[in-house]
Amino acid sequence: MVEKLRLMAVHAHPDDESSKGAATMARYVAEGHEVMVVSCTGGEAGSILNPAMDRPEVLENMAEIRRGEMARAAEILGVSHHWLGFVDSGLPEGDPLPPLPDGCFAVVPLEESTEALVRVIREFRPHVVTTYDENGGYPHPDHIRCHEVSVAAFEAAGDPDRFPDAGEPWQPLKLYYSHGFSRKRMTLFHEALEAAGIESPYGEWLANWPADRPDVMERVTTRVECADYFEVRDEALKAHATQIDPTSRWFAVPLEMQRELWPTEEYELARSLVDSTLPEDDLFAGLREKVTA
């Protein structure tokens, strides 16, 4: 009898889990597997991106409000959640860029944040871990650090000589990266919206897309069918009300169009300790037959 498999998704801030791989997680929860989201920071430095929430009392209580938003999103997705406990680094702006704040996630020594994540991995014992690629999906210092910490923890968690006080060793078997936006996907939706007589929010974005920027789809190894859970994903995303405007381009493409044209979420298999034939359609490919009760 195959036991419940366990998936851990490591993210930089609350709301990242709902915009990157949420439908995949909801699918695996519905199948009876265990899913944990780890938020490396509390998102304290995030701006209010939803005009309806742009009120002084919200800004004054941003940390508390974002914790509540994350709790609602986790409930909608059906996942467990763990705060890793580091402080949001913020997105530096200006030329030259200002230094990052002392003590923030991106400047904390890598060994310290790696040990914190190793401790959670050894407690939850995931078979699969997902995180961002080396570019962080986009160049936010916390996203890049999230990648570095996740890779380091994946390698260290099974080694009894690393962080011996952080619990009994546990080696995850697969590590996946999620990437940033795909030009191919965006073009497909842009053309479909225009053909349907619906205003597309992607025209300017595509026009300014650098010609030499490769499409992330060139790195994708694994496409998970999860169209039945797009509505759950959207509801989880809307739970992050300070960050997500429900009238924004996040929701410009009708769900039925998404399900028809692009019914998957995409990943790159970065590390694997089991045999799996590429391309895959399942993050647990190669595990379902091997991991038994």
What pLDDT does 93 receive?
Answer: 86
pLDDT > 90 in the chain, percent = 85
CA distance 283 to 269: 9
What pLDDT does 153 receive?
Answer: 98
Which of 80, 103, 105 has the alpha carbon at shortest distance from 17? Answer: 80
Task: Answer yes or no: is pLDDT of 23 > 80.
Answer: yes
| Average pLDDT of the residues in 117-136 | 97
DSSP class per residue in 129-197 = EEEE-TT-SS--HHHHHHHHHHHHHHHHTT-TTSSTTS-S----SEEEEE-S--HHHHHHHHHHHHHTT
Please tell me which residue, 58 or 193, carries the higher pLDDT value. Answer: 193
Q: Can you read off the two tokens belonging to residue 238?
A: 């809307």
What pLDDT does 229 receive?
Answer: 98
276 CB neighbour count, 10 Å cutoff: 18
Give pLDDT tens digits for 4-18. Answer: 899 999 999 999 999
Contact assessment for residue 14 and residue 66, using Cβ atoms and an 8 Å cutoff: yes
119 CB neighbour count, 10 Å cutoff: 18
In the chain, the domains with their CATH numbers are 6-179+219-272 (3.40.50.10320), 183-215 (no CATH)
Residue 13 marked ligand-binding? yes
Residue 16 marked ligand-binding? yes
CA distance 34 to 28: 8
> What DSSP element (H or E) covers 109?
none
List phi, psi (to 5°) of 238.
-65, -20
Residue 81 marked ligand-binding? no
Contact assessment for residue 36 and residue 52, using Cβ atoms and an 8 Å cutoff: no
